[in-house]
Amino acid sequence: MDQVGLGDAVRALGTPPAVPSGLRTPDGRWLLGAADDTGPEFVVVHRAELHRILTTAAPPVRPATVTRVDTSAHSATVVSDTGETTEFDLVIGADGVGSAIRRSWPADPGIRYAGYTAWRGVTDGPFETPAAGETLGRGGRFGIAPMPDGRSTGTPPRRHRPTGGCPTSGPS
């Protein structure tokens, strides 16, 4: 975020979690703890707040369907379905699992179903989170992190096999 002048705005949303963090087993045993010197570069922020910072800093653009992004060493050119081109210093590809922006990237790895679906959630009010990170277990994992306002965010995944194979479009 510092490279695009937004680091201070993101850091102003909060401080690094003041709880231990890392990877744990279901019984709470630590497998890997984060270094104590992760410092101010690591902050947990609400996704909507991050979107607000990004959209406030971005220049106004007309809605368009992006078909590809051409990049050079110092800029990116967005090409719309009408053929219109617009040059930017930075393009953030947040257009979902069927991303045209990702597909236009030279090193696009494509998409691969990981075997589970993860939901993201944020508690409505304060929720004490004694530790942050992920708990890994046989066939499952759960991530949780405290937010600066006392709420917590979590990612409880569910393993399943989708019908019809790997999803290639739709909401992300």
165 occurs within a structural domain: no
134 occurs within a structural domain: yes
d(CA 23, CA 63): 41
29 occurs within a structural domain: yes
168 occurs within a structural domain: no
pLDDT confidence of residue 8: 92
Other C-beta atoms closer than 10 Å to the C-beta of 9 total 16
Gyration radius (Cα) of the chain, Å: 19
pLDDT confidence of residue 69: 87
pLDDT by residue, tens only, the chain of 172 residues: 888 899 999 888 876 777 888 899 999 899 888 765 555 567 888 888 888 998 898 877 777 788 888 888 888 898 888 899 989 888 877 777 778 778 877 788 888 877 777 788 899 888 888 888 889 888 778 889 888 888 888 888 776 666 655 554 444 3
The amino acid at residue 47 is R
d(CA 149, CA 166): 37
Give me the domain span that covers residue 126.
2-159
Nearest to 107 by CA among 64, 69, 67, 65: 69
167 occurs within a structural domain: no
166 occurs within a structural domain: no
d(CA 37, CA 139): 31
169 occurs within a structural domain: no
| Contact status, residue 45 vs residue 69, Cβ threshold 8 Å | no
pLDDT confidence of residue 164: 56
pLDDT confidence of residue 172: 39
pLDDT confidence of residue 85: 92
Total count of domains within the chain: 1
Tokens, residue 63: 């809605």
